[in-house]
Chain A
Amino acid sequence: MHGLRAYLLRRLILLLFVVVSVLTILFVLFKLLPGNPLSVFIDSNYSDEMVQRQKRLWGLDDPLWLQYVRYMWNMLTFDFGTSFFQMTPVSGIVIEKLLHTGAMIVPAVVLSVVLGALLGSWLGWRRGSRQEGAVVVGLLALRSVPSFFVGILVLMVFSYQLGWFPPGGMVSIGGHQESFWETILTLDFLGHLILPCLVLMTREITSPALLLRSTMLEVKGSDFLDILRAKGLSERRIRVHATRNALLPLVTDIAVMMGFLFQGQVLLEIIFAWPGVGRELVSALNDLDYPVAQACFFVMALIILVFNFIADVLYGFIDPRVAYD
């Protein structure tokens, strides 16, 4: 498949172009942002000379093009500088927060996609039945309720009233283990995960379910299903064939879902006090912690781009008819 290599190369070049564009927009935005990045460092009693020294220290007295080039190089090499407040490298902070967000999103997406696809396949197959109608209405309702509302409701019932689950956070106080991976393998973490994960799922399950339902309807009229029936296959096996044919559009859906979830969980992270990247971004903006905010924006955009890239490549493995040229 030499077509595949050329295709990948072309996609990668395109990806790089988009990344540079995103970085440029970020650069301009942060330059346009009201306030001064150094305002947290410069006391009103500083003399002009001291102000100049601070500017030189952070490279802000260099010409704009040099600042741009240096910024671009640093970002592309994932050198995000040092946080103004935590005084540690930004990359470490961002990676940690991303892992936290991922720990909530990945299980929710995996469960949503698997359960949603099964449900959607069933819905498409049982098209027109009363149960199908009821489930579709239920799904549309779930899709329309904002997740922060469901989140607050769920917290009220299961945490405050019933006391089954902790009211927020990722682990109990003192629950952090040596590494992130050890932490997420504890039961304590699982207890904290269940509520936000469920809330996320109530919404995310609707998209694969409704999508697969409609693609199943298209597949249902195919001639090859008649042949499968004539071959004496069980109804269940035939549905597997139909589902496999209907899966393709779901791949894009998963990729887009993942990308958006990584950036879109600010509200949920705040409600459940989840130390993720969305919450970090909000507090970095409040604190005028420019390096952290910049890095968060960039990384979120990068994640969306990478997932879309993965979706394009996966297409060919799911549908052999997709040609890379």
Chain B
Amino acid sequence: MALLELDDLSIEYRTAAGAARAVDGVSITIDEGEYLGLVGESGCGKSTIAKAILGILPPNGAVTKGQIRYRGRDLTRLSLAELNRVRWRQIALVPQSAMNGFDPVYTIEQQINEAIETHMKWSAAEKQSRIAELFRLVGMEQSRLKDYPHQFSGGMRQRAMIAMAMVLDPNLVVADEPTTGLDVIVQDQILHRIKEIHIRLKKAMLLITHDMAVVAENCDRIAVMYAGRIVEYGAHDVFERPFHPYTMGLCNAFPDLADEGRELISIPKAPPSLLDLPTGCRFAERCPFATDLCRKLEPALVSVGDGHVAACHHVARAAEFRDSARHVRTWQAGPATA
């Protein structure tokens, strides 16, 4: 059953240069107990979605269209008091900025307690045992509870943040680039923790990242975002048999242990400005397979397999693209002129 549904969601930021549509007509669903990965480059709107789900968009950002339904209730239409009852109790967040995610002048314990006290009427003993349980879960020492955030390393702060996110046993955890700024070994530990919690507690997770390898390793399903839109969406097929050239490009850009000899290829150029989006396919400018049709008409999501959709005019030629996309020269040649 669908736990969270984003339905034709659009989010805009008011900027000095005009409205920037960071998210444009995005529809994805997360089922109970599902682990969904949302991938894309920086600035494609992934974090904006995370913020919108929890209702913490900055003052200049707003949902302009669509719904965010949690168990059928549209979160964008709730009053602050109603939303506050859903926040953390039902949907918790592991933020990108664990470094600055804790208030520097309160101890970790005080801050976790505050999350509990806002929603529950637990006794001191109940709170204590719950926090102890979670610290064990994330592999932290109890003795560190009375410490202040600045006394923690980045990895420890992130683990404490995960403990805080899990403290009320939420049904959905949104992890927004939870490993930003951590070294590779710690990144791996954190992701394993999250995966372990997902498997053990059967909680739904939304993992937002730019790292295709991380998603491939952890998630049940995956949504690929580009310039505010979902371009490909499905289960493991998405990286095994990608249909969108952008997904192919992303897969090339991350190392794969199973395929040691493979070259890493980056996608040339940068995504389009959200203030001035092209009329056709948003990826056409960088796509080695783009045609005139691509530049004129924006492709819709079409079904390419069981629960697998992609937004490309040329899904029929995907097999041919996949072969070609493995070579550096394909990408270096720039967009096709044909």
- Interface set of A (CB-CB < 8 Å, partner B): 222-224, 226-235, 237, 241, 244-245, 318-321
Is the beta-carbon distance between A232 and B87 smaller than 8 angstroms? yes
| Contact A235-B80, Cβ < 8 Å, known A227-B101, A229-B56, A245-B105 | yes
Is the beta-carbon distance between A224 and B55 smaller than 8 angstroms? no
In the assembled complex, how far is the CB of residue B337 from the closest CB belonging to chain A, in whole angstroms? 45
| Contact A224-B54, Cβ < 8 Å, known A233-B84, A234-B84 | no
Is the beta-carbon distance between B104 and A321 smaller than 8 angstroms? yes
Is the beta-carbon distance between B97 and A232 smaller than 8 angstroms? no
Q: Residues 291-304 of chain B: 1 if any A CB is under 8 Å from the residue's CB, otherwise 0?
A: 00000000000000
In the complex, chain A residues whose CB is within 8 Å of the CB of B102: 224, 227
Q: How far is the CA of A230 from the CA of B84 in the complex (A)?
A: 8
Question: Considering the complex of A and B, which 8 residue pairs feature the smallest CB-CB distances, nearest first?
Answer: A232-B87, A232-B84, A223-B100, A223-B97, A230-B54, A320-B148, A230-B93, A226-B56
**Which B residue's beta carbon lies closest to that of A244?**
B105
CB proximity to A under 8 Å, residues B97-125: 97, 100-106, 114-115, 118-119
In the assembled complex, how far is the CB of residue B121 from the closest CB belonging to chain A, in whole angstroms? 14
| Contact A321-B150, Cβ < 8 Å, known A227-B102, A232-B88, A232-B89 | yes
B317 at the interface (CB under 8 A from A): no
CB contact between B88 and one of A231, A234, A245, A319 (< 8 Å): that residue? A231
Is the beta-carbon distance between B101 and A321 smaller than 8 angstroms? no
- Most chain B CB within 10 A, of A226, A235, A245, A319, is at A226
In the assembled complex, how far is the CB of residue B89 from the closest CB belonging to chain A, in whole angstroms? 7
B77 at the interface (CB under 8 A from A): no
B95 at the interface (CB under 8 A from A): yes
**Which B residue's beta carbon lies closest to that of A238?**
B103
Q: How far is the CA of A318 from the CA of B85 in the complex (A)?
A: 31
Is the beta-carbon distance between B103 and A228 smaller than 8 angstroms? yes
Is the beta-carbon distance between B87 and A224 smaller than 8 angstroms? no
In the complex, chain B residues whose CB is within 8 Å of the CB of A234: 84
Is the beta-carbon distance between A320 and B105 smaller than 8 angstroms? yes
26 A–B pairs (Cβ distance < 8 Å), ordered by A:
A222-B100, A223-B97, A224-B100, A224-B101, A227-B93, A227-B102, A228-B103, A229-B55, A229-B87, A230-B55, A230-B88, A231-B114, A232-B85, A232-B86, A232-B118, A233-B84, A233-B118, A234-B84, A235-B80, A237-B114, A241-B103, A244-B105, A244-B106, A319-B105, A321-B105, A321-B150
Q: How far is the CA of A227 from the CA of B104 in the complex (A)?
A: 13
In the complex, chain A residues whose CB is within 8 Å of the CB of B103: 224, 228, 241, 244-245
Report how many residues on chain B are interfacial, defined by Cβ distance under 8 Å: 29
Q: Known contacts A233-B118, A245-B103; can you find 4 more A-B pairs with CB under 8 A?
A: A224-B103, A226-B56, A230-B93, A321-B150
In the assembled complex, how far is the CB of residue A18 from the closest CB belonging to chain B, in whole angstroms? 31
**Which B residue's beta carbon lies closest to that of A248?**
B105
In the assembled complex, how far is the CB of residue B43 from the closest CB belonging to chain A, in whole angstroms? 18
Does more than half of chain A's interface fall in helix, strand or loop, or is it mixed? helix
Q: Residues 72-96 of chain B: 1 if any A CB is under 8 Å from the residue's CB, otherwise 0?
A: 0000000010011111110011010
Is the beta-carbon distance between B84 and A223 smaller than 8 angstroms? no
Q: How far is the CA of A244 from the CA of B110 in the complex (A)?
A: 14
Is the beta-carbon distance between A223 and B85 smaller than 8 angstroms? no
**Which A residue's beta carbon lies closest to that of B83?**
A232
- Most chain A CB within 10 A, of B83, B105, B114, is at B105
In the assembled complex, how far is the CB of residue A124 from the closest CB belonging to chain B, in whole angstroms? 14
| Contact A320-B100, Cβ < 8 Å, known A226-B56, A233-B114 | no
Is the beta-carbon distance between B104 and A224 smaller than 8 angstroms? yes
In the assembled complex, how far is the CB of residue A125 from the closest CB belonging to chain B, in whole angstroms? 12
**Which B residue's beta carbon lies closest to that of A234?**
B84
Q: How far is the CA of A319 from the CA of B119 in the complex (A)?
A: 28
In the complex, chain B residues whose CB is within 8 Å of the CB of A241: 103, 106
Is the beta-carbon distance between A245 and B84 smaller than 8 angstroms? no
In the assembled complex, how far is the CB of residue A325 from the closest CB belonging to chain B, in whole angstroms? 15
Q: How far is the CA of A243 from the CA of B85 in the complex (A)?
A: 24
In the complex, chain A residues whose CB is within 8 Å of the CB of B51: 226
Q: How far is the CA of A244 from the CA of B103 in the complex (A)?
A: 10
CB contact between B119 and one of A224, A226, A232, A244 (< 8 Å): that residue? A232
Q: How far is the CA of A14 from the CA of B93 in the complex (A)?
A: 49
Q: How far is the CA of A158 from the CA of B153 in the complex (A)?
A: 61
In the complex, chain A residues whose CB is within 8 Å of the CB of B115: 231-232
In the complex, chain B residues whose CB is within 8 Å of the CB of A235: 80
In the complex, chain A residues whose CB is within 8 Å of the CB of B100: 222-224
Is the beta-carbon distance between A230 and B105 smaller than 8 angstroms? no
In the assembled complex, how far is the CB of residue B169 from the closest CB belonging to chain A, in whole angstroms? 14
CB contact between A227 and one of B55, B85, B86, B95 (< 8 Å): that residue? B95
In the assembled complex, how far is the CB of residue B132 from the closest CB belonging to chain A, in whole angstroms? 20
In the complex, chain B residues whose CB is within 8 Å of the CB of A232: 83-89, 115, 118-119
In the assembled complex, how far is the CB of residue B116 from the closest CB belonging to chain A, in whole angstroms? 10
CB contact between B104 and one of A231, A233, A237, A245 (< 8 Å): that residue? A245
In the complex, chain A residues whose CB is within 8 Å of the CB of B55: 229-230
Q: How far is the CA of A245 from the CA of B100 in the complex (A)?
A: 13
In the complex, chain B residues whose CB is within 8 Å of the CB of A226: 51, 56, 95
Q: How far is the CA of A318 from the CA of B191 in the complex (A)?
A: 35
In the assembled complex, how far is the CB of residue A192 from the closest CB belonging to chain B, in whole angstroms? 40
In the complex, chain A residues whose CB is within 8 Å of the CB of B88: 230-232
In the assembled complex, how far is the CB of residue B67 from the closest CB belonging to chain A, in whole angstroms? 19
**Which B residue's beta carbon lies closest to that of A229?**
B56
In the complex, chain A residues whose CB is within 8 Å of the CB of B150: 320-321
In the complex, chain B residues whose CB is within 8 Å of the CB of A222: 100
In the assembled complex, how far is the CB of residue A156 from the closest CB belonging to chain B, in whole angstroms? 46
In the complex, chain B residues whose CB is within 8 Å of the CB of A227: 93, 95, 101-102
In the assembled complex, how far is the CB of residue B308 from the closest CB belonging to chain A, in whole angstroms? 32
In the complex, chain A residues whose CB is within 8 Å of the CB of B114: 231, 233, 237
CB proximity to A under 8 Å, residues B32-66: 51, 54-56
